[in-house]
Structure 1
Amino acid sequence: MKALLSDSPGGPDTLRLADLPDPVPGPGELLVRVRAAAINFPDVLIIEDKYQMKPPRPFAPGGELAGEVEALGDGVTGWQVGDRLIAVPGFGCLAEKIVIPGKSAIPLPAARSFTDGAALMLTYATSIHALYDRGRLESGQTLLVLGAAGGVGLAAVELGKAKGARVIAAVSSDEKAAAAREAGADDAIVYPRGPFDRDGQKALSEQFKAAVGPAGADVIYDPVGGDYAEPALRAIGWEGRYLVVGFPAGIPKLPLNLTLLKSCDVCGVFWGAFAMRDPAANAAHVATLFRLWDEGKISPRVSATFPLERGGEAIAAMAARQAIGKLVVTV
């Protein structure tokens, strides 16, 4: 089989396409023929050794997939050769075949494409856990979404609207603002690109405050970090919830006096650990996502696809924050 491998820490240009022996499923495992693999920001970090998970090299990046069962290991029940599935193994998906635990696979309905299926889990599962569990978002509340045109951002916009919230999307271009509005955002603001000096941060905070209104945001969803974080926190409402999702703009330092003045919560969001610690709750969220998908309230937006040999280009586009929605490598 072919796989796009990381041999040493570095950027997307360090990846190489290689021929490897087909993997063999062990007890409880499935051999999956990968049909599509979505690219996410952790793929940018993992090949540079900057992610919390550091697989032994060489390894293939790519954290989520859609594919078909090609073989079953001993003891696997509920699956047959040819069954369609999606899964989030964390890495290894930029390859023609992969072995995964059978219990981690989720059936993919025949009506859904492999490309859309690959783009569902990481962004929507992260966002539903963030908004419904950590953010306790309720109908009628105001949600401010930073980076609202990225994969997790658009998922947060759609899930916020599905919950009945007023959603304000914050993005870095008019094109991204249009995408957020198409996803259902009630309003969209275009902020400048950082880094910002103190005056720039103050101006950005005033922009956020004007958008959410005088009562402030009940929930702020931040998958961006960096110099955007403190201005957003200053726009939070009384007893609001600030959701820490990711840091493509850098890891921020927040003045904790703001949390006292607003009596607000700063909540970390780590979906992968949540799914491992509470699989029943995660399964319930997955069922909700498929129901919302069937109802047309959510729909993964795939803005570009790449063949396996160009998977590094997809990761580079993600690193440059050029993507609207999801990027998918077709295999």
Structure 2
Amino acid sequence: MAEGGQEHATTEPQAEAQETCRVVHALRGGKIQMQEAAVKPPGEGEVRVKVEACGVTAADWQVRHGQLKLSTPPFVPGFQCAGTVDAVGDNVQSLEVGQRVVVVHSLSCWVERLVVPATDAYAIPESLTFQQAAGLAFDYITAYLTLHRHANLQKGQSVLIHRAGGGIGFAATQLAKNVPEVVVFGIAPEPQHDVVKENGVDHPIDVRVPDYDRIVRETATDGVEVVVESAAGKDLKKGLNLLKPLGTLVMYGSASSAGGGLFSAAKQKLGPATKFEGSTLIDGNKSVAGVNVVPLIGTDLSREIIKELLSLCEQGKLKPRVDSVFSFRNVADAQKKVHDGANVGAVILVPVIEEEEKAVQDAKQKAEAEKAEKAARKSVRKNKGGSTSSKSDGEAKAENEEKGGDEEKPNSDEKPSEDKPTDDGKADGDSKPEEAASGEADSKPAETTAGETDKEKVGKPAEVKTEDGEAKQEDGEAKADETAA
């Protein structure tokens, strides 16, 4: 009680709002969407990374649809990303705030602010952009294991690479050409031939050619030492027959068994065409191997290979190519592009594309303004209806006719607005989660080429429209899944 008997109001200290960030969540039923999550501090032995770019791989599709059982929905997918360390926990000596890093971690990488063990983050050279670094790890580790650990590629040998334009095929070509006098045959769609030749493929072959083995033998009459096969399907027998004695066929994924795309849930097991008689391998002095990077993430082997790859990048011997860039909002489109094999190089996710975000926010503001205007009109009609309630119907009609009949009549069928605004400013009945649009939507990725800066790679914003022409994010997940099916 203050002097004079007056009470002074006390002000309770308000808790600071918790910082949030954008994050991609994989939900039940194969759904995927961008949400908001709290930013966490790093613990002991951990660092926090402000993520600038994330890599998209074929394995991400498997995880999303439950074909790789690594977590239970909801969870944050993603095996790789790149950005800047913005916080360091106790007992971390290898990294410091402000350092540019690439992160390779089992899931959780598709988030704007990521906390991981310091041992899963690696300093990157200045020659790499964040987007190049984000597309490096998974694809190049797979290619490195294929060529240098399984096949033991040597000087003067030859290699046949299927899907030479894909992320792993692109990486395998660069690694192969670092071995002196190696000859590379690359299978890819004809429109990709110029790009794969520039990347190092000596003999591009159209993917539509059924007897590609005949074309290979026109140049390499005795066959090849290594076949890199991205599909567990009918072409494996051709690949095996192309091998010279002591040659190796290395396969990853199961593209050809999925009916046109990567990874079909219905055909995950190897069929009869992929079985090999032991006598065939023994008598031919040939070997077959497989690569799956996922269980190797976080092991000493994967850390050793990542460091070797970063060293090669610093020497200018490797240069990851960024095919296209998508925002977190359009994560389903990014996955669909990889799933369809439509990329030449890496497909990248970024938390936000500013021009695209501005279009979305402008659409929200417009929708909110229209809703407020509609509510105001309803209020005016309601007030006018109340002021004339004491008059007879005939008097009200005559008064309206005297005014020229311009007064807007209340709609007896229209109820006062009881819609609750959602996060995107629309009524509950019209609202949709910020779910990524499919590749069939109007949104388009920002196409990029190698050597451009990250800002240059963003390009034009994705444009999506509602049925009435207003900009809005579509729920294209269903379209993506229908297309994949």
Q: Tell me the TM-score normalised to structure 1 length.
A: 0.88
What is the CA–CA distance in structure 2 between the aligned matches of 1:241 and 1:181, rounded to whole Å? 24
SS in 1 for 2:323: strand
**Alignment gaps of 5+ in structure 1:** 194-199
What is the CA–CA distance in structure 2 between the aligned matches of 1:224 and 1:182, rounded to whole Å? 24
SS in 2 for 1:255: coil
Please tell me the residue identity of whatever aligns with 1:309: R
What is the CA–CA distance in structure 1 between the aligned matches of 2:114 and 2:276, rounded to whole Å? 45
Kindly indicate which of the two structures has a greater share of residues assigned to strand: 1
Higher RCO structure (Cα 8 Å, ≥6 apart): 1
Tell me whether 1:313 sits opposite 2:333 in the alignment: yes
What is the CA–CA distance in structure 1 between the aligned matches of 2:218 and 2:236, rounded to whole Å? 16
The answer to whether the Cα contact below 8 Å between 1:233 and 1:258 also exists between their aligned partners in 2 is: no
Listed as ranges, the matches of 1:263-282 within 5 Å are: 263-274=285-296, 276-277=298-299, 279=300, 281-282=301-302
**Map of 2:138 onto structure 1:** 122
Two-structure CA RMSD over aligned residues (Å)? 2.0
Tell me whether 1:229 sits opposite 2:251 in the alignment: no
Q: Deviations over 1:182-238 (max 9, x none)?
A: 111111111228xxxxxx5xx344344445x22211011112332222222221111
Listed as ranges, the matches of 1:7-156 within 5 Å are: 7-10=27-30, 14-51=31-68, 53-156=69-172
What is the CA–CA distance in structure 1 between the aligned matches of 2:83 and 2:254, rounded to whole Å? 30
Please tell me the residue identity of whatever aligns with 2:37: L
**Map of 1:249 onto structure 2:** 256
The answer to whether the Cα contact below 8 Å between 2:104 and 2:298 also exists between their aligned partners in 1 is: no
**Map of 1:197 onto structure 2:** none
Tell me how far 1:258 sits from its aligned partner.
Answer: 3.6
**Map of 2:411 onto structure 1:** none
Please tell me the residue identity of whatever aligns with 1:289: L
What is the CA–CA distance in structure 2 between the aligned matches of 1:20 and 1:167, rounded to whole Å? 46
Q: Deviations over 1:147-185 (max 9, x none)?
A: 1110110110111010121111112x1122222111111
**Alignment gaps of 5+ in structure 2:** 1-20, 258-269, 352-485
Please tell me the residue identity of whatever aligns with 2:47: L
Tell me how far 1:282 sits from its aligned partner.
Answer: 4.1
The answer to whether the Cα contact below 8 Å between 2:76 and 2:111 also exists between their aligned partners in 1 is: yes
**Map of 2:245 onto structure 1:** 238
Q: Tell me the TM-score normalised to structure 2 length.
A: 0.61
The answer to whether the Cα contact below 8 Å between 1:141 and 1:166 also exists between their aligned partners in 2 is: yes
Tell me how far 1:83 sits from its aligned partner.
Answer: 1.5
The answer to whether the Cα contact below 8 Å between 1:144 and 1:168 also exists between their aligned partners in 2 is: yes
Please tell me the residue identity of whatever aligns with 2:348: V
Please tell me the residue identity of whatever aligns with 2:246: E
What is the CA–CA distance in structure 2 between the aligned matches of 1:204 and 1:254, rounded to whole Å? 21
SS in 1 for 2:316: coil
Distance 1:275 1:55, change over 3 A: closer
**Map of 1:300 onto structure 2:** 320
Please tell me the residue identity of whatever aligns with 1:293: C
Structure with higher Rg: it is 2
Q: Deviations over 1:1-49 (max 9, x none)?
A: 1112111132xxx212111111332221112111100111011111001
**Map of 1:329 onto structure 2:** 349
The answer to whether the Cα contact below 8 Å between 1:222 and 1:229 also exists between their aligned partners in 2 is: yes
**Map of 1:206 onto structure 2:** 214
The answer to whether the Cα contact below 8 Å between 2:106 and 2:298 also exists between their aligned partners in 1 is: no
Distance 1:291 1:30, change over 3 A: closer
Tell me how far 1:283 sits from its aligned partner.
Answer: 4.3
**Map of 2:261 onto structure 1:** none
Distance 1:97 1:292, change over 3 A: same
The answer to whether the Cα contact below 8 Å between 1:226 and 1:247 also exists between their aligned partners in 2 is: yes
Please tell me the residue identity of whatever aligns with 1:232: G
What is the CA–CA distance in structure 1 between the aligned matches of 2:34 and 2:172, rounded to whole Å? 34
What is the CA–CA distance in structure 2 between the aligned matches of 1:90 and 1:190, rounded to whole Å? 35
**Map of 1:291 onto structure 2:** 311
Which shows bigger deviation, 223-232 or 252-261? 252-261
SS in 2 for 1:214: coil
Q: Deviations over 1:241-264 (max 9, x none)?
A: 111222122245233254234210
SS in 2 for 1:27: coil
SS in 1 for 2:108: coil
What is the CA–CA distance in structure 2 between the aligned matches of 1:181 and 1:111, rounded to whole Å? 23
The answer to whether the Cα contact below 8 Å between 1:34 and 1:96 also exists between their aligned partners in 2 is: yes
